[in-house]
Each structure stands twice: as C-alpha cells, then as structure tokens.
C-alpha cells in the first residue's frame, strides 16, 4: 500500500495534537446534548435529509461532527487513524448519550475491510482538511464507491487547493497542487484550533493548551481539484455537484480574514475573491 510509513507518521503527529485541539473546544458535550450542531450549512445542504440513513464519516477526528450527524438522524460510523481522536470521540458519545460507532483505522484499510465484510452505507461523508492526508486518490474513490449502496451519496467539503498557492499574507507563493506531491512538515500538525480563535469551536473557545509544539512531523499530499473529481468519476461515482466557495468556514488560514456571521471567513478588503473551499456531491450508480 502506497506510503504506509508516511501515514503511520501522520498518525503519530495527529495523536500528539488532538489533546491540544480538544482543550479549546469548550463544553462541546453540553452543546451537543442540548441539540447544538457543529456542521456548517454547506455540508448540510449537500448531505440533504439524514433521518434513518446509515452514514460512514471518514477522517472523523474527535467526533463532534459525527455526533451532529447522528443528532440529525443518521446511524453513524466514524473512522479515523488517530487513536487519541477515536478515544475522544467515544468519550464524547458517552458524555452526550448520542450513540455512534467509532473505529480506529487507516481509511485505506477500513474501506477495504468494510467492502470485504459486505458493509454498505447510504451516505459517506468527509470534510475540512481531509484530501491533503491521502496519497492515493484512486484507491480512496474506489473504496468509497465499494461501501456505498447503489444510489448512495458521497459528500466532501474541503479547503480549496487554490488556497494552497498563497502564504499566510496572500502572496502567491506556491504552484497549484498536483499529482499528490508529498510535502514534509517538520513542525507537524499545528494547533490550528487555537489559531482560529473560536472559528472552530461552536461551543465557545477555551484557552486550554498554550504554545503547543508538535514533536512529530507529518506528510501532506498536494492534489488539485480536477484530480479529486476525476478520481471519484473513475471510481464509479457520478458527480452531481461541484461547488466552489469564495470563503472558508471556521479556520483562519490567512492574515486579516474578515469574519461574517456563521464563522465564515472572507479575505480582507483589497484581496480579490478566490475559491477557499469546495464541496462535491456524488452518487454511486447501480452499474458496479
Ligand atoms: C483536519 S482533520 C478532519 C476534521 C474533521 N472533519 C472534524 O470533524 O474535525 C483530519 C483527520 O484525518 C485523519 N487522518 C489522516 N490520515 C488518515 C488516514 N490515512 N486514515 C484515517 N484518518 C486519517 C486525522 O487523524 C485527522 O483526524
């Protein structure tokens, strides 16, 4: 399997940072227990009604979104490579009494195992900082198609690869991502939840861990939007919608972002609009 050693290193980097991220999330359990939903309107619109659906949430992190999906009526299975994230997700489920299944696995292994075991879902969902961890888009797309029921829906919302071309101050600094080129980050996964100052903490921002430094490097993979869409089509999914949004939800990647209601971040005045997020909705045709 391609780059397994790099993915295992990513697991260590995520394990190191999850506690710092979660330390900023405020009282997420009470927020969810009282009916709060952490999802943004973009993914909710692409997902549609979830009542009574089975849903696999890939790269679910600490489970806040997974439990929100469960609150909306889905029977959720959350999957993530990070031991710490899956442990936190299980604890959150227990503290909120919102049921969901959480499984620790590399999604490449999980998709294969799930397909082999005959597990099939109405919906597969993944969002916000997920494609950059995947070294092989073809295996990913084929794996998703294999666990979707015929007519089932795949929804992805992620940060736009165009945003990768700019440094933190809006200078055009890097080439458009392509080919899954790997990028080593010696500094590992950072505490972007703290840096986003409340943008990623719908239950309120807590100071929590300060000055976090990750001792574990990580490896990213740089893909363009066309490559993502092509992989999904090649994997047997029919694309229903590709949306590009000139704002990003929650995360503060850049200096001087202006925050609109709903934790929507747009560039400062004087910076022309660029797509900062995209969403894809696709369905599994019955032909496979
Ligand atoms: C930026 S987070 C996604 C955020 C998530 N949508 C949420 O609700 O918070 C990316 C996640 O991908 C996971 N991940 C990275 N590589 C993975 C892999 N090969 N298999 C499964 N999970 C992986 C990380 O552990 C991390 O939790």
In three state form, how does the secondary structure of the chain look? CCCHHHHHHHHHHHHHHHHHHHCCCCCHHHHHHCCCCCCCHHHHHHHCCCCCCEEEEECCCCCHHHHHHHHCCCEEEEEECCHHHHHHHHHHHHHHCCCCEEEECCHHHHHHHHHHCCCCEEEEEEECCCHHHCCCHHHHHHHHHHHEEEEEEEEEEEECHHHHHECCCCCECCCCCCCCEEEEECCCCCCHHHHCCCCCCCCCCCCCCCCCCCCCCEEEEECCHHHHHHHHHHCCEEEEEEEEECCEECCCCCCCCEEECCCEEECCCCCCCCCCEEEEEEEECCCC
Token duo for residue 236: 């047997």
**Residue 253 confidence (pLDDT):** 85
Tokens 């590009």 locate to 244
pLDDT at 121: 98
pLDDT at residue 181, rounded to an integer: 96
51 burial type by CB count under 10 A (0-12 exposed, 13-18 middle, 19+ buried): exposed
Q: What are residue 75's DSSP bridge partners? A: 54
d(CA 64, ligand 1 centre) in Å: 12
pTM of the prediction? 0.97
The closest-lying atom of ligand 1 relative to the alpha carbon of residue 129 is: 1
User: What is the per-residue pLDDT for 171?
Assistant: 94
What is the atom index within ligand 1 of the atom nearest the CA of 130? 10
How many whole angstroms separate alpha carbon 23 and alpha carbon 29?
13
Q: Residue 262 is encoded by which pair of tokens? A: 């709903």
**Do the bridges between strand 258-260 and strand 264-266 make them parallel or antiparallel, or are there none, so unpaired?**
antiparallel
pLDDT tens by residue, 151-205: 999 999 999 999 999 999 999 999 999 999 999 999 999 999 998 889 999 999 9
The confidence score (pLDDT) of residue 110 equals 98
pLDDT of the residue at 2? 82
106 C-alpha to ligand 1 centroid (Å)? 9
Q: Measured from the CB, is residue 107 less than 6 Å from ligand 1?
A: yes
3 with 175: CB under 8 angstroms?
no
Best residue among 25, 56, 79, 80 to mutate for probing ligand 1's pocket (most ligand atoms within 8 Å of CB) is: 80
Question: Which residues are CB-neighbours of 118 under 8 A, at least 6 positions away?
Answer: none
Minimal-distance CA residue to ligand 1 atom 13? 59
Place of tokens 């992620």: 158
pLDDT given at position 287: 55
- pLDDT < 50 stretches in the chain: none
Give the Cβ contact number of residue 251 at 10 Å.
Answer: 21
Which two structure tokens, joined as six digits, stand for 154? 């795949």
Counting from 1 in the atom list of ligand 1, the atom nearest the Cα of 106 is 20
Cβ contact 229:209 at 8 Å: no
Q: What is the pLDDT of residue 215?
A: 98
């Amino acid at each position: 399997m391609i780059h397994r050693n790099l993915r295992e290193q990513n697991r260590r980097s995520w394990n190191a940072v999850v506690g710092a991220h979660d330390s900023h999330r405020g009282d997420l359990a009470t927020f969810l227990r009282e009916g709060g939903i952490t999802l943004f309107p973009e993914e909710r619109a692409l997902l549609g009604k979830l009542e009574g659906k089975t849903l696999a949430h890939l790269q679910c992190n600490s489970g806040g979104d997974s439990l929100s999906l469960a609150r909306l009526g889905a029977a959720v299975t959350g999957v993530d490579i990070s031991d710490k994230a899956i442990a936190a997700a299980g604890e959150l489920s227990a503290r909120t009494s919102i049921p969901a299944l959480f499984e620790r696995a590399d999604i490449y292994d999980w998709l294969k195992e799930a397909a082999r075991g005959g597990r099939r879902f109405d919906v597969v969902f993944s969002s916000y900082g997920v494609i950059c961890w995947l070294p092989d888009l073809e295996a990913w797309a084929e794996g998703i198609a294999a666990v979707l029921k015929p007519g089932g829906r795949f929804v992805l919302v992620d940060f736009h690869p165009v945003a990768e071309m700019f440094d933190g101050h809006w200078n055009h600094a890097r080439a458009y991502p392509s080919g899954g080129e790997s990028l080593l980050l010696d500094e590992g996964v950072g505490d972007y939840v703290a840096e986003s100052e409340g943008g990623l903490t719908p239950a309120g921002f807590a100071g929590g861990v300060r000055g976090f430094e990750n001792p574990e490097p990580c490896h990213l993979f740089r893909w363009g939007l066309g490559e993502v869409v092509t992989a999904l089509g090649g994997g047997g999914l029919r694309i229903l919608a590709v949306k590009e949004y000139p704002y990003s939800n929650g995360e503060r990647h850049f200096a001087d972002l202006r925050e609109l209601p709903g934790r929507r971040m747009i560039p400062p005045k004087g910076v022309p609009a660029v797509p900062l997020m995209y969403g894809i909705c696709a369905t599994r045709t019955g032909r496979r």
